[in-house]
Structure 1
Amino acid sequence: MSGRQAARRVRILRAASEIGAREGLASVQMHDVAKEAGVAIATLYRYFPSKPYLFLAVLEWHIEQFLGGHDGGPVPDEVTDSVAEVAETLIALSGKLLDSPLLASAVALSSFTEYASAVPTQIDIVERVLGQRLLRLLGSCAYAETERSRVRLLVYSWWGLFVAMLTEEISTEQGEADLRLAARLIAAQ
């Protein structure tokens, strides 16, 4: 992707984020996103073929932004308690996403739609930026299947708790406690 294309993609993601945060998923119109991003509607659809696909990309983009870039940013050489660091990273990410409830709802609903329609082999959560970050925090740059399974379990646990907090099925405090417990149970060696 060229620099111009990357900049256009970010403009689209930013516009979708702003409209989604303001209006919620049901009210977002692709034409409005294209207009706010300053691109033609055909260009928008070339980058993002559907609204759920667009908002799944918004989620990934927000995670990347939160983690400090596509590679997940630097991890300290000596993480004294990697399990606690994993839990605190997931808790902070949840808090960041929940700061904008309408946008959080939009990305959650879109992810359900997009994941349900995807061919299972197309989605490898461990290869996504959050999965890579968790592998690095756990000191697991190796690609052993056990490590990949641990990261998948952590991400899926986080996602379930994030949705439960978003829908107010559980309190934020309970979600944070459950994330800490999940990290201890799943990530501890």
Structure 2
Amino acid sequence: MARPAEVRQPAAPTSSRQAARKVRILGAAAELGAREGLASVQMHDVAKEADVAIGTLYRYFPSKPYLFLSVLEWHIDQFLGGRDTGPAGGEVTDPAGEVAQTLIDLSGKLLGSPLLASAVALSSFTEYASVVPTQIDIVERSLGQRLLRLLGDRADAETGRSRIRLLVYSWWGVFVAMLTQEISTEQGEADLRLAARLIAAP
């Protein structure tokens, strides 16, 4: 019996030129995904749009679902990079409120491009082991780190990390429910505020 193909590890850029090339690929995938949706986008199309060789594309992104999960992370990074980290003094007076507003605003940003939002959501539902070659620690990602800073040092480290995981999982579930119109945007925002109050409470 043939063994399943081993998932390749994605390469990391080692120069500013390679980093720029990787960003170009992410931008091309995001543009094509927003315009055509996941099913219609082919890896060759992304390579052509980004003006890179197909081998270069697969070097950084071993599969299409992995590519679009990376697009999601890239959009989250861009969103958080353009957002204030909090009050000038560094102290967040309403952590639960700040967490909820961050998640609500992020949802609105992603839902602003429905086809792209669907593409990244569908990619996340693909068989996980075949999509993500390396283990992902949600708390160490940019969104997890932002929420951790907003909550501050109000609990032991492991409890704090568990709270962040619960918040990100809750946000993702609500985001998908809004994307699929299972719930309204207003209900989704209310649910996120409730989740933040319940999970982020001291």
Match of 1:28 in 2: 41
Aligned pair 1:158/2:158, yes or no? no
State which of 145, 159, 175 in structure 2 corresponds to 1:132. 145
Q: For the aligned residues, what is the CA RMSD?
A: 2.1
Query: Which residue of structure 2 lines up, in the alignment, with residue 81 of structure 1?
Result: 94
| Contact 1:161/1:175, CA 8 A, preserved across alignment | yes
Bigger share in helix: 1
- For 1:119 and 1:53, how far apart are their aligned partners in 2? 6
What is the TM-score when the length of structure 1 is the normalising length?
Answer: 0.93
Shift of 1:113: 1.5
Show the counterpart of 1:168: 181
Match of 2:56 in 1: 43
The Cα shift of 1:155 comes to 0.2
The residue identity in structure 2 corresponding to 1:14 is: G
Distance 1:117 1:129, change over 3 A: same
Tell me the TM-score normalised to structure 2 length: 0.87
- Report the number of matched residues: 187
After the TM superposition, which of the residue ranges 1-10 and 163-172 deviates more from structure 2?
Answer: 1-10
Offset, 1:99: 0.3
- Residues 1:140 and 1:34: Cα distance change in structure 2 (over 3 Å): farther
Taking only the aligned residue pairs, the percentage that are identical comes to 83
In terms of mean alpha carbon deviation, does 165-174 or 120-129 score higher? 120-129
- Residue 16 in structure 1 maps to residue 26 in structure 2: no
- State the alpha-carbon separation in 1 of the partners of residues 23 and 132 from structure 2: 26
> Using the alignment, how far apart are the partners of 2:141 and 2:112 within structure 1?
22
Opposite residue 134 of structure 1, the aligned amino acid is L
Which stretches in structure 1 are left out of the alignment for 5+ residues? none
Cα 1:119–1:66 change in 2 (3 A) is closer
Deviations 1:98-130 (A, max 9, x none): 000000000001112163546898121111110
Q: Kindly provide the amino acid, as one letter, of the partner of residue 111 in structure 1.
A: S
When Rg is computed on C-alpha atoms for both structures, the one with the higher figure is 2
Report the counterpart of residue 62 of structure 1 in structure 2: 75
Alignment of 1:82-101 (within 5 A): 82-101=95-114
Alignment CA distance shift 1:137-1:159 (3 Å): same
